[in-house]
Structure 1
């Protein structure tokens, strides 16, 4: 109980550091600006679900890359063979097999042609530091003697990866042009880009600006023949037909006369003569010279300005344009002209990007989520703090001081790391409030046992902290494993939950042991009590001798029946899957003139021909959730569906508060990742417990936890609660909480195996459960005190998550107390009393010991 000055200084330093990093997040902007520069300035970053904004997950379109590369390769081959070597040829393209086929008019020139096209070989690398790279092309020949060039799969993959890196820079320039603050643009895997823009609620405009390729090219229009004539008679060599903005078509040369990469500026302007918005552009020196040469040589001809394979305008060249400037006119509004100027200034995307996941939250809904989270947190804190004082008196006050410091350290760590706080993240903090007292309860109950065994108060305190520490480490690490798996396999808000849960576990290890020990030590040195009165209230009296093992067969039978019912319901009834797992669009709307009429909303949407549309209440009487199935036309069709819903509901004063669109590709990946996360978590915990305990304890713990997972998943199926990505978070958190209780009981069984060598195993397990049941009931009650406010006040967004957590904790307590013991016996765990006499070690006189 002697604390060195260094230990005291460390506790004070950590507490001060936590306060300094946490405080800026709770100060107004003007106060933070006046904050001394040498103090921490970083604040907690609020997730989009709390502050509103747009989230887009984009994927490089592989088909588009292949098609465009084949077109470019086709032009290169024609130029190389026909123009440079005079070898006549006919080229056909097979985009499905990423191949072009070359048929020579003079077969005797095949070897010369083969030698020539092999000079087109290039190596592709997705890193500027890579050496070499992979070959992009493979050369071959068809059975009938035609030459082929095929894009290699490795080359396509490397090109996609390289294009993602280029796309990120272009997207960042475009988003910066919009004047938004703190956008997050990150690479995901080899072919995806994640864009999060807080405070930008117009997701349609953001999506249009980010995902448009904005590839600007200039082509000469083919003279003397219209597009309709070319379609009827056949395309002239080296030409192509593109749609025009006015609804017609244009026949233009394939060769690019001038590329948009020569642009140095583009600005929205207004053409006073035609009374319409236009976009003015300016070329660099080389582009201006080329533009001047083209316009000088083609006076009287038409010159097409093409944007993303659509002819914006194709005016006739009246006179040479040598100043290096020009105008793009079309059916622009002021905003679309401004957006096009933004796109041209930022540069073209090197590849087309498809939006495969979209989430938009209105700022008002984010404010409501913050309010719900704060209310749940405050109520949970008051309940837990009050209960600890009622249950443990002064020792409860010590635990509460550690709890408050624990919360401060969580916020300080979030701020220091620049982590994002989401609504599930707030739920993680609230859950930590309930779990953080678990270690203190474990310590206090151990001190009571040691004092009851005849030790002095000082000995009891020392032994209580020392002997409880191993159990605390085991129980916390099993929860931490689940949090780590959840972070690496989850996404978005679920990762926010994993971060706060993981931080809470780490900080509670420090506060519940070191800080609580410090205050208990200070109190003891000051008061020097003869006895310790630690607990003032308990649910179950001391000395209980409940014969759990005598009813074990009935318990196991009940658990098997309930597990079979849960599995049967999951197989035959299925789940109410959220769009995270089935794809589609979820739209939260709010009626501005009082309570919403769900029936009226359903009636308005029935005639839109959108397939399956579900309409249900969403928390408050004014809010309604509309779920639209994934449309057959892909993401573009989904956006058309959202627009139809908006238009239909706008007439009845409904406003959209949030939209969430997930493609089938992402939903399948999320479902697979969720299943993998649960399996990995169970395997990792099995390995850990196997390392810390005997193998029977590890298998029993995993079996018990699997039972809890099955029961909780059955709850989703039987009740129809929405099963979404946060439900996976609930299941994984349940894994940690359930194992927490199981590890405590298992640790006591292992201790009693050494202490009571001659006691039969069923009696020993009964003894261990009765010794720990006081701690289990108090700990679970504090977790419930934290979870119930989340269920009541946490809001509809995390309702299914919090209900599943509450149910899972009940099941976890039941299984840890009653189910785990019989499983241990069935797996062959034995005490010394259960071993055959001839298997026991012999003493010197030959008697069994």
Structure 2
């Protein structure tokens, strides 16, 4: 175990060197990175929105509007198809989500079916899908009456197609904003995720994404009165549509439904100024087909008003004074320079095939992002320093080696995050600090085993070799359980939670490398060159050697206390309840900063009383200038998404800067709640299966009960503390699951080893012996983790405290459950030594003495 060939040594230090090179760009400025040689890595870690500011928007295709648009198109197709086949029909209308009509002559039934065959035939769903979809279904509910309805498969196909087309339109629109590295991805069947780092004007982004930008040119009906139709004094003429203008005081206008020219024929759109009035306008240019059609329409309708319609709003309706034959036109209206530019952007990017609703929004201002970076750096440095000092005090020179390995571990982790282009979020910084604490665990396992072997009479070389050898399996088991939790987090989480999962997973790989390879190489090098006569020891012994605490003698009391506390925690859910964040309830959270330096909570509450329905929470948050505003889902948002947020912005924008905006719709919140429950359950199940396969079923039940207890206790802590329960809380709970099982597996590993050694010793004595042998490691690891988490809690900022506080409680609860829940379960389920599998076969050949004494064989299970 301690011999390293030359090629292994080269590989180890080459990996370290590459890690330094890939991590280096994170310490350099942009100009310094640009001046690096071409062969050197230049890509730093990508900072998440919570660290550099920006906007995250989740868009959903409006299913109802898409179906409505498709039905209108289908109605026109039915009309054209039947007329082309000379089939007489009447009463063609939309009825309960379908197109219905009646034949004038029932004898034309077959001719009608033949004419509509093109609409009911299966259509290809794409090369990759490799199938076909029947989009419409023709039925005859009664003789002579036919009904053409959209199928569910056809609607899903249209939704999927609309998302694919919308992604490209959204990408072109976002690119026009001039932002760097936007992330635009499909999510599920009907959603698009848009993430724009560093965006200074999120309201403008929402405005661009929230418009369909369907531009049409239609003739105005001058023979009927729009005011009379709007007041109800006159019915709406056939073939007409009543729209409103975009003026400050909108007025009605009657336009023909027939589209003369559409925005599909545009080739360019640029903002400019009208030469005579100097007012902002948008100059547009048509393609050849559009220019020809535009010239023909204007030539045939000289003297008539021509409405320019954008998303069912009339921008302007000028009179056609003369034919426009050059393929160029001008759109005028009540434009500002900004609105003219935005309209030009929308027209150049093209129209969306369907309406996109914003169902989730998370915006962080650049100032708040800078504060988060500063807080994360401070927490990381202080947490790292505490762990380094602790390891030196606990292990002396071996602690110095562990600290070097820890530094390399962090460098390799940052290098991997940079090389993979992963996004570092605030929970990601927590993952790095947590990795620092958990990385210590591997070295503690090795060092404690090493010292134990030395106390048992082995030589220095034998002790070191046996320490690494026997700790190998335990380290792998402990880290695999954490990896399973990280994988579940990644696949079931979203946004920052995924960032934490990636950091945690990568940290596990770097920890295994540094502990089992780099640390072993450094110890081997020291051993060869120094030839020590004794294993170095620390300055303080936290658990005296020879400790023999009879844990199992109080197991019944411990179980009674555990059951009582667990029932109390579960009961507290129905009495006090969790303080659910908007991730699970839906609603809006705004973090405001007063421009004059002092926030007026009472004035904010009064300003919002007439805008927001229901309870509005306004509270001081951090400094005197910072305020947190929270309110539930608003009815007005159902008709117009984001209406409440836009109204609040208008009311408070003059006096406050919006540092953070989070809006979660009821649909998303319900999905997140189910995903959270499923995530915790899936993590527990996956890790239990691993423990079962690695050990025995009794061990799996013990691990499952202990972990369920830790989850219950953590939830009880959240109920009592009334900390906000959000997605970060789920990440914290799943991290506790991983840590608790990490601790439990270490204890199980020693129990399995001692069961193979002492086949006649009662199971309760074996458990006591194993718990005492691993007690030092358990406490040292817990203390190092607590030090890292305390640094995060104290210096990581207000947002991350919600994430760290339950983890602090969970670490302490996890130590308790490993001793008083997981281990005693093996007694109650009558674990038999002869059924034990796995472990090191050489364990059975160890001498039947520990510390120079023969273990007692008395006692009852």
Question: Deviation digits for residues 47-74 of structure 1, max 9, x if unmatched?
Answer: 0000001110001111111100111111
Displacement of 1:223 in angstroms is 4.3
Displacement of 1:350 in angstroms is 1.1
Corresponding position: 1:709 with 2:711 = yes
Question: Deviation digits for residues 719-738 of structure 1, max 9, x if unmatched?
Answer: 21100000000000000000
Corresponding position: 1:27 with 2:12 = no
1:287 to 281, 285, 290: 290
- Which residue in 1 is equivalent to 2:320? 317
1:807 to 791, 794, 809: 809
Corresponding position: 1:118 with 2:121 = no
- Which residue in 1 is equivalent to 2:173? 174
1:299 to 297, 302, 313: 302
- Which residue in 1 is equivalent to 2:754? 752
Mean Cα deviation higher: 46-55 or 72-81: 72-81
Q: How does 1:350-499 map to 2 (within 5 A)?
A: 350-499=353-502
- Asked if the contact 1:289/1:322 (under 8 Å) is kept, the reply is yes
Displacement of 1:643 in angstroms is 3.6
Q: Which segments of 5 or more consecutive residues in structure 2 lack a partner in the other structure?
A: 837-861
Displacement of 1:218 in angstroms is 1.6
- Which residue in 1 is equivalent to 2:259? 256
- Which residue in 2 is equivalent to 1:842? none
Corresponding position: 1:6 with 2:7 = yes
- Which residue in 2 is equivalent to 1:722? 724
Displacement of 1:809 in angstroms is 0.3
2:739 to 737, 740, 744: 737
Distance in 2 between residues matched to 1:715 and 1:696, nearest whole Å: 29
Mean Cα deviation higher: 113-122 or 668-677: 113-122
- Asked if the contact 1:124/1:159 (under 8 Å) is kept, the reply is no
- Asked if the contact 2:61/2:163 (under 8 Å) is kept, the reply is yes
- Asked if the contact 1:758/1:833 (under 8 Å) is kept, the reply is no
- Which residue in 2 is equivalent to 1:203? 202
Question: Deviation digits for residues 547-582 of structure 1, max 9, x if unmatched?
Answer: 111111111111111111100011222111101111
- Which residue in 2 is equivalent to 1:154? 153
Distance in 2 between residues matched to 1:568 and 1:791, nearest whole Å: 28
- Asked if the contact 1:240/1:254 (under 8 Å) is kept, the reply is yes
- Aligned to 1:102, the other structure's residue is in SS state strand
Q: How does 1:189-200 map to 2 (within 5 A)?
A: 189-200=188-199
Distance change (3 Å), C-alpha of 1:331 and 1:144: farther
- Which residue in 2 is equivalent to 1:553? 556
Mean Cα deviation higher: 85-94 or 496-505: 85-94
- Which residue in 2 is equivalent to 1:502? 505
- Aligned to 2:149, the other structure's residue is in SS state strand
Corresponding position: 1:67 with 2:90 = no
Distance in 2 between residues matched to 1:311 and 1:598, nearest whole Å: 41
Mean Cα deviation higher: 4-13 or 309-318: 309-318
Distance in 1 between residues matched to 2:647 and 2:308, nearest whole Å: 32
Mean Cα deviation higher: 465-474 or 234-243: 234-243
- Which residue in 2 is equivalent to 1:669? 671
Displacement of 1:243 in angstroms is 2.9
1:692 to 694, 701, 725: 694
- Aligned to 2:116, the other structure's residue is in SS state helix
What is the TM-score normalised by the length of structure 1?
A: 0.95
Distance in 1 between residues matched to 2:238 and 2:105, nearest whole Å: 18
Mean Cα deviation higher: 689-698 or 16-25: 16-25
- Asked if the contact 2:359/2:664 (under 8 Å) is kept, the reply is yes
Distance in 2 between residues matched to 1:174 and 1:637, nearest whole Å: 21
Distance change (3 Å), C-alpha of 1:616 and 1:144: farther
Q: How does 1:808-847 map to 2 (within 5 A)?
A: 808-831=810-833
Distance in 2 between residues matched to 1:93 and 1:355, nearest whole Å: 28
Question: Deviation digits for residues 661-718 of structure 1, max 9, x if unmatched?
Answer: 0100111111110110000000100110000001000110011000000000111112
- Aligned to 2:267, the other structure's residue is in SS state strand
Distance in 2 between residues matched to 1:163 and 1:638, nearest whole Å: 19
Displacement of 1:789 in angstroms is 0.7
Distance in 2 between residues matched to 1:126 and 1:416, nearest whole Å: 37
- Asked if the contact 1:88/1:105 (under 8 Å) is kept, the reply is yes
- Asked if the contact 2:688/2:704 (under 8 Å) is kept, the reply is yes
Distance in 2 between residues matched to 1:297 and 1:326, nearest whole Å: 17
- Aligned to 2:642, the other structure's residue is in SS state helix
Distance in 2 between residues matched to 1:130 and 1:647, nearest whole Å: 47
Distance change (3 Å), C-alpha of 1:599 and 1:306: closer
Question: Deviation digits for residues 717-760 of structure 1, max 9, x if unmatched?
Answer: 12211000000000000000000110001111111111111111
Question: Deviation digits for residues 265-294 of structure 1, max 9, x if unmatched?
Answer: 111111243442211111011110111111
- Asked if the contact 2:365/2:660 (under 8 Å) is kept, the reply is yes
- Aligned to 2:22, the other structure's residue is in SS state helix
Distance change (3 Å), C-alpha of 1:317 and 1:128: farther
- Which residue in 1 is equivalent to 2:578? 575
Displacement of 1:103 in angstroms is 2.2
- Asked if the contact 1:358/1:661 (under 8 Å) is kept, the reply is yes
Displacement of 1:248 in angstroms is 2.6
Distance in 2 between residues matched to 1:25 and 1:102, nearest whole Å: 68
Q: How does 1:317-356 map to 2 (within 5 A)?
A: 317-356=320-359
Distance in 1 between residues matched to 2:521 and 2:126, nearest whole Å: 53
Mean Cα deviation higher: 131-140 or 55-64: 131-140
Distance in 2 between residues matched to 1:785 and 1:169, nearest whole Å: 48
Distance change (3 Å), C-alpha of 1:636 and 1:404: farther
Displacement of 1:124 in angstroms is 4.8
Distance in 2 between residues matched to 1:594 and 1:119, nearest whole Å: 67
Distance in 2 between residues matched to 1:398 and 1:636, nearest whole Å: 63
- Which residue in 2 is equivalent to 1:845? none
- Asked if the contact 1:485/1:677 (under 8 Å) is kept, the reply is yes
Displacement of 1:786 in angstroms is 0.3
- Aligned pair count? 831
Mean Cα deviation higher: 13-22 or 638-647: 638-647
Question: Deviation digits for residues 816-843 of structure 1, max 9, x if unmatched?
Answer: 1222222221222245799xxxxxxxxx
- Asked if the contact 1:304/1:311 (under 8 Å) is kept, the reply is yes
- Aligned to 1:778, the other structure's residue is in SS state helix
Corresponding position: 1:517 with 2:520 = yes
Distance change (3 Å), C-alpha of 1:132 and 1:648: closer
- Which residue in 2 is equivalent to 1:101? 100
Distance in 1 between residues matched to 2:542 and 2:162, nearest whole Å: 63
Displacement of 1:804 in angstroms is 0.4
Distance in 2 between residues matched to 1:375 and 1:13, nearest whole Å: 30
Distance change (3 Å), C-alpha of 1:319 and 1:594: closer
Distance change (3 Å), C-alpha of 1:47 and 1:525: same
- Aligned to 1:49, the other structure's residue is in SS state helix
- Aligned to 2:414, the other structure's residue is in SS state helix
- Asked if the contact 1:266/1:280 (under 8 Å) is kept, the reply is yes
- Which residue in 2 is equivalent to 1:50? 51
- Asked if the contact 2:636/2:644 (under 8 Å) is kept, the reply is no
- Asked if the contact 2:392/2:538 (under 8 Å) is kept, the reply is no
- Which residue in 1 is equivalent to 2:775? 773
- Aligned to 2:590, the other structure's residue is in SS state strand
Distance change (3 Å), C-alpha of 1:138 and 1:377: same
Distance change (3 Å), C-alpha of 1:324 and 1:405: same
What is the TM-score normalised by the length of structure 2?
A: 0.94
Distance in 1 between residues matched to 2:610 and 2:90, nearest whole Å: 55
- Which residue in 1 is equivalent to 2:799? 797
- Aligned to 1:698, the other structure's residue is in SS state helix
- Which residue in 1 is equivalent to 2:854? none
- Which residue in 1 is equivalent to 2:621? 618
Distance in 2 between residues matched to 1:599 and 1:141, nearest whole Å: 64
- Asked if the contact 1:760/1:831 (under 8 Å) is kept, the reply is no
Distance in 2 between residues matched to 1:85 and 1:252, nearest whole Å: 29
Displacement of 1:125 in angstroms is 5.2
Distance in 1 between residues matched to 2:660 and 2:289, nearest whole Å: 47
Displacement of 1:109 in angstroms is 2.8
- Asked if the contact 2:612/2:631 (under 8 Å) is kept, the reply is no
